[in-house]
Structures are given as C-alpha cells and as structure tokens.
Amino acid sequence: MHFATRAIHASQPSDPSTGALVAPLFQTSTFEQEAPGLTKGFDYSRTNNPTRQRLEAVLADLEEGRDAAVFASGLAAEHAVLQAFLRPGDAIILPADVYGGTWRLVSRVFAPLGIDARFVDTTDLAAVGAALTARTRLVWIETPTNPRLHVSDIAAITALAHGHGALVVVDNTFATPVFQRPLALGADLVVHSVTKYLAGHSDLIQGAVLARDPAVFEPVRFLQNAAGAVPSPFDCWLTLRGLKTLELRVQRHADTARRLADALSAHPRVARVYYPGLPSHPGHDVARRQMSGFGGMVSFEWQGSAEQVADFVSSRRLFTLGESLGGVKALIAQPARMTHASIPAERRAALGLTDALVRLSPGLEHPDDLVQDLVEGLDAPCAGRGRIAPLAV
C-alpha cells in the first residue's frame, strides 16, 4: 500500500464492539484483572494502554519498522536511547551542529557520567571514520540538521559504524517518514520529536523510538516502563488523528518551503539560504538520493545586525515568533537566542550559528501570503522595527 493509505488503514480497524471508525480513547490509569496477574493484556497505563499501543503500531508501520515506543517528549525518547546503550567509558559520535536540546542532554547529563561525546561534521565521511574507535557504541545522525539543514549520508555512515560494532540512531524529525526511511537505509534506531510534523497541530508534546531488531529495541521498551516517561492516552489519540493527514500536510509544507527558499535566494538582503531542495545546498545530491522530498524547513542568513534580526522575527504578520516547528501555523525563530541558546556562545560562533540566522517553519497558509510576509519585512527600511498591524484576513 502507498504511504497515505497506510497512514489511515494500517493497524487502525474500526472498533470491533461498536463499529466506530475512530478508535475510542482509553483514558484510564488501570484495568480490572480477572484474577491476580490474569489480565486482558493491560494492567496499568504506564506499562501499556490500548490507545498508546495502537499509536505505536501505526508509527512502526509508517517507519517500516517492527517496534515503536512513544514517550512524553522527544528528549525523553532520546534519553531512553542514550541510557539504554551507553555506559561510563563508552563513546558516542554526534553531528557538530546537533539540535540544542540533544547537545544539552549529551554534554550536560551524560558526559559528566563518563560518556565520551565526540561532535564531528557528519557530512564528512572521513571525519566520521576518524572519530570511530573500539569504544564507540552509538553514532547519532540528525539529517537534515536543525537549524542549518545539513544532510548526512545515512547508508554510508551506517556501513562505517557497523564495521566498528556501533549502532546508528537517526533523528528523523525534520524529514518525517513521508520523505525518509532511515531503517530501510540500515539504521538501527529512529527517534522523533512527535510534537512536530507527526502530530502536526502544535497541541501536544511527545517523542518516539522505532526499531526493526527486537534485540535492539528491548532495552528501550524496558526503560519506557521502568522510567515511566510516557505520554497520556489523550495525547496518543491526538497523534493518531494527526497522522491521518501527515502526507498531505508534509507535502504542503515542502511545497511552501521551496517557494520561500526561491524567494529568499533572490532577495538582495539575504546572504545565504539553507534548503536541501536547492541545487546550491551542499547536501543536495545526498538528499536527492536518500529522500523522496526535501522537507518543510528553511533557514537563512541575512545582512543585518542582531537587533534588526530580532525586530524582523518579532514583527511578522503571519510567521509567529515561537519555538517548535511542523504545525499548521507558520513559525519563525532566531535559533541563537531561542532553540540553541543552551549551546555556549563561543561554540555557536564556531559552528556558524550566528544571530543573523533565521529559521522558518512554514505552516499550511497559502504560500503567496507567507512569501509576501517575509519580503515585506526584508524590504522595510528598518527591517521590521516594532510590531506592525496584523494582516487583515
């Protein structure tokens, strides 16, 4: 079946007791047992819940995996993977420009426990190969990266990592399973901030871990129950609703992102545009090979002061200044002061995460309106100084 069909039908039959097309929400903490230890498959919702079980089955199918575990946030999902496979003295390789929350988790939670965190340019296979040692347990790939959308070759890195006995984890949040299937490219584990595109409506926080090999997945499942960082049944139900329109939404996001990238590339005040769909993007060829679409995120650098950039992102009519991405409403951010503020300033500077960098998450608004909103701000003499009146709609 095609992806759009699976998103609606896979593991989602009508309710057998009522015929309801939409599965009921099992908003319960505990379940009646027929005798001590004799259950109908469920005993306590931290361990399992019918709504969560259904969501996990759907996610596993869409990522072409075998198993899935959902968590209360994307970082809770990442924490479970790191805790499951890393011990003091072990090493992990991550992208130099990994998401700020991942950097904070590894550098400030796991590194003090004796984990050797090696941040390298994962777009450079030679750099990845040089960083691999006998102590490397995990190679963490984020592709495209947040916020500069660097693209790493999943299959090639996986071959290198497996040659050294390391597992490969891919953060597939930006690409989504609509455009990229890391498990099919050889990765061992996939993580998602479900909060973003998968749920898609900016109304919940959730994460997920997926795998094909039960032996690799088992320690993650154990920690899901043992640590208990699970989402509520209602949040799982909301994600199931969002997944039914995932392909439609992500395609629209990607189409708009390309329109924005083209408009920004042509603007004289824009110094550089980051979008994998542009032939000028450094990872364009790899993206064409391992992705079926280029995603819905765009970042750019422009010729203005940090204060002008702050004014610009704070005064758009349609792009709302805020954290997160992947929702139906367009969002704009200045990563150095927002999503990546936890990274020390000197490290941000070394990575090129300057105050001039702007990250866009186009929503489902009409592309023409979003392009106009950006161009108006870039054309303004003071680049958006002060908040302007909302757009009449």
> What is the tens place of the pLDDT at every residue in 137-183?
999 999 999 999 999 999 999 999 999 999 999 999 999 999 999 99
Q: Sign of the C-alpha dihedral, residues 220, 250, 368, 327?
A: negative
* Integer Cα distance of 384 and 313 in angstroms: 8
Catalytically active residues, by annotation: 46, 99, 171, 196
Q: Which pLDDT belongs to residue 307?
A: 86
| Cβ atoms 191, 209 nearer than 8 A | yes
pLDDT tens digits, one per residue of 118-149: 999 999 999 999 999 999 999 999 999 999 99
Domain 246-379 CATH superfamily: Aspartate Aminotransferase, domain 1 (3.90.1150.10)
Listed by start position, the domains of the chain span: 3-243, 246-379
pLDDT at 390 over 80: no
How many helices (H) and strands (E) the chain has is answered by: 14, 12
Q: Which residues are bridge partners to 157 per DSSP? A: none
Which class for 76: exposed (0-12), middle (13-18), buried (19 or more C-beta within 10 A)? buried
| Cβ atoms 218, 181 nearer than 8 A | no
> What is the chain's Cα-based Rg?
21
To the nearest 10 degrees (0 to 180), the angle between helices 214-227 and 74-85 is: 120
Q: Which pLDDT belongs to residue 382?
A: 57
State the pLDDT confidence band at 3, using cuts at 50, 70 and 90: very high
- Give me the count of residues in the chain: 393
Angle CA(287)–CA(331)–CA(303) in degrees, nearest 5?
75
Sheet strand arrangement including 331-333: 270-274, 298-302, 357-361, 331-333, 320-321
In degrees and rounded to multiples of 5, residue 98 shows phi and psi of -60, 155
Q: Determine which helix (DSSP H) or strand (DSSP E) holds 160, and give its type and residue range.
A: helix 154-163
Work out whether strand 67-71 and strand 207-211 pair parallel, antiparallel, or are unpaired: antiparallel
Read off the pTM.
0.94
| Cβ atoms 343, 148 nearer than 8 A | no
* Integer Cα distance of 312 and 61 in angstroms: 41
Q: Whose CA is closest to 281, among 258, 302, 303?
A: 258
In CATH terms, the fold of domain 3-243 is: Aspartate Aminotransferase; domain 2 (3.40.640)
Token couple for 273: 């545009």
pLDDT at 392 over 50: no
